[in-house]
Structure 1
Amino acid sequence: MAEVKYEITKNLGVLSENAKGWIKELNLVSWNDRAPKYDIREWSPEHDRMGKGITLTQEELAELKSLLNNIDL
């Protein structure tokens, strides 16, 4: 399997932290030298390992924001 190259270009915030110290974050991440996308996933404390996550374009993030604004919590 080919190595995945990534660069966190901007940390936008922390959503949570689990008991083992892994942090679920919203970041802008460049994957394999491509344009950065919005990314939600868990990262190890050193950001050298990651869990499964989701990447979103700016348009997808705007749609998600609209959907979330319509949810009654």
Structure 2
Amino acid sequence: MAEIKFEIVENLGVIGTSTKNWTKEINLVSWNGRKAKIDIRDWDENHEKMGKGITLSKEELKALKDILDTIDIDDLDM
């Protein structure tokens, strides 16, 4: 299996921390030398291991933001 190369270009924030002290982060990440994209996933404390996540283009991030702006979080049954 080919090695996945990544570079965290910018850390935009931490959403939370898991019981194993990994942090769920929003970062700008370049995967395999490509243009950086928004990335949301869990990382170990040294950013050497990662969990499954989601990567968004600028257009997808804008669409997500538009959707989130319409949601009243207090009305969600969660």
| CA distances 1:36-55 after superposition (whole Å, capped 9, x unpaired) | 00000000011000000000
* Partner residue, 2:55: 55
Give the partner amino acid of 1:60: E
Using the size of structure 2 for normalisation, the TM-score is 0.92
3-state DSSP of counterpart to 1:47: coil
Match of 2:23 in 1: 23
For structure 1, list consecutive stretches of 5 or more residues without a partner in the other structure: none
Number of residue-to-residue matches in the alignment: 73
TM-aligned CA deviation for residue 18 of structure 1: 0.9
CA distance in 1, matches of 2:44, 2:4: 16
Shift of 1:19: 1.5
Runs of at least 4 residues of structure 1 off by over 4 A? none
- Counterpart in 1 of 2:76? none
Q: Are 2:14 and 1:14 equivalent residues in the alignment? A: yes
TM-score, scaled relative to structure 1: 0.98
Give the structure with higher Rg (CA): 2
The percentage of aligned residue pairs carrying the same residue is 58
